[in-house]
Amino acid sequence: MTEPKERMRLDEVGDWSELKLEILKKYAGAYTKILRGNKLHPIYIDGFAGAGEHISKRTQKSIAGSPRNALEIEPPFEEFHFVDLNPKRATNLQKLAGDKDNVYVYSGDSNALLISKIFPRIRYTEYKRALCLLDPYGLHLSWEVLKAAAESKTIEIFLNFPVMDMNMNVLWRRPENVTKENVARMNFSWGDDSWKNAAYKKQETLFGPEDEDGRDRRCRDRPQGHEPRCALPSRDHRSRAVREGHGRPFGARR
């Protein structure tokens, strides 16, 4: 007698994640409508797709994740590419796709797969355009992926910046205490170490002058051992603010 297979555990998501999914769903519907109206071929890419469905913390019921929502968009995308590192999640994504022959599921490192296998399919000369969702759990996304998407001139990025991971493990009041491993992870996602200039720069704020470490009064006088969790503006290598907030997504268009 064979033992029953263990059922895959779905991630629980809060109200903000449900709202994020709804925003993306509406955006994707407008995206396909506009592209098809201009005789272009809309393609959907999900670089950190997960299992394709979640459990709502509020209701404890199953809800559609971004891949399942994408499959139901009208007018439809012409092609789908779902990536996840976890083989069990990839198997669940394949089940959600059913017998659709235009759905491609990959199990592996999304950074390598996006650059080497998926992005090259979105050819400008073939009038293909892609909406690419990048919603990593933490600092797992390589800057090279964003660079490759921009250079393609065919891929629009919807990025959820991993601010929680940054604040918890990198953007500390005492940067000398941050581990080399976490600094390396930040450099990997940012592209270089120029984030240090943006994160630790003294300037005037609405709450008064910042400390030398770039934190304003809201982050001062924390008990020893409790690093601040205040989000800082993120900047690119030209010091333009490109992100500010607490986990909110933004679309980077090309």
Query: Chain centroid to CA 69: how far?
Result: 16
Give Cβ neighbours of residue 175 (< 8 Å, ≥ 6 apart).
196, 199, 200, 213
Assess whether 32 and 146 both reside in one domain. yes
Is the pLDDT confidence value at 190 over 70?
A: yes
**Which domain does 236 fall in, by range?**
164-243
Q: Of 109, 128, 160, which residue constitutes the final position of a domain?
A: 160
State pLDDT tens for residues 148-182. 999 999 999 999 989 999 999 999 988 999 999 99
Which CATH number fits the domain that encloses residue 75?
A: 3.40.50.150
pLDDT for position 7 = 64
pLDDT for position 198 = 84
pTM across the whole model: 0.78
Helices 180-190, 143-152: axis angle to 10 degrees equals 0
How many Å apart are CA 180 and CA 13, to the nearest integer?
31
Tell me whether residue 236 is exposed, middle or buried, using C-beta atoms within 10 angstroms of its C-beta: 0 to 12, 13 to 18, 19 or more. Answer: middle
The single-letter DSSP state of residue 115 is I
Q: What percent of the chain has pLDDT over 70?
A: 77
Mean model confidence pLDDT for the chain: 84
249 in any annotated domain? no
CB 53 within 8 A of CB 96: yes
Nearest one of 76, 68, 74, 16 to 46, comparing CA atoms: 68
- What's the domain count of the chain? 2
pLDDT for position 6 = 58
State pLDDT tens for residues 13-40. 889 889 999 999 999 999 999 999 999 9
Q: Of 118, 141, 160, which residue constitutes the final position of a domain?
A: 160
Tokens matching residue 109: 């490192």
CB 21 within 8 A of CB 66: yes
How many Å apart are CA 41 and CA 75, to the nearest integer?
11
